[in-house]
Amino acid sequence: MHVEGNILIHAPQSDVFDFAENVELLTQCIEGCRNVHELGDGKYAALLEAQIAFLRMAFKVTVELSRVERPNTIEAHIAGTPVNLVGKIDARAGLTLEPAGPAETRVTYALDVSLAGKLGGMGESVFRAKAKEYGDRFAVHLRDAVESKLLEKAP
């Protein structure tokens, strides 16, 4: 399942990259992301909680930064299991940053997800719609957080 979108952020590309590269700041933009802690060597553990259709789900995941190319690209591999449900989630997530003006950056997010076990049987269309919704909200949270952080720095 592939989901992607983009958003324009009124900030220089270097500032957006600095924000996105900071795992603590970036994960605050992901709804339902909790208990993030570093495992070392670019790996992190987290709990992701989401409302999918009528189910409230939680996933224990590990996230490994697989590609960081300043100031354009951040990619990660995400793997995990749902809490209280048989299955597995495996995903690749990425952010691509491109200058869109002197102080503007176009951020494209992409997420490729595969689901196994009972998760896979629940219906890809339901997961796709929810993933797109969460992705779009992530992009808005990212934009708002970066732009407000820049306002805090302004003299």
Residue 61 CB coordination number (10 Å)? 20
Architecture of domain 2-153: 2-Layer Sandwich (3.30)
Give the strand pairing for 73-82 and 55-69: antiparallel
Q: Is this structure's pTM higher than 0.85?
A: yes
Read off the pLDDT of residues 71-128 as tens digits, 9 standing for 90 and up. Answer: 999 999 999 998 988 889 999 999 999 999 989 999 999 999 888 876 666 666 677 7
Cα–Cα distance between 147 and 155 in angstroms, integer?
14
Q: Which of 88, 93, 91 is nearest to 120 (CA)?
A: 88
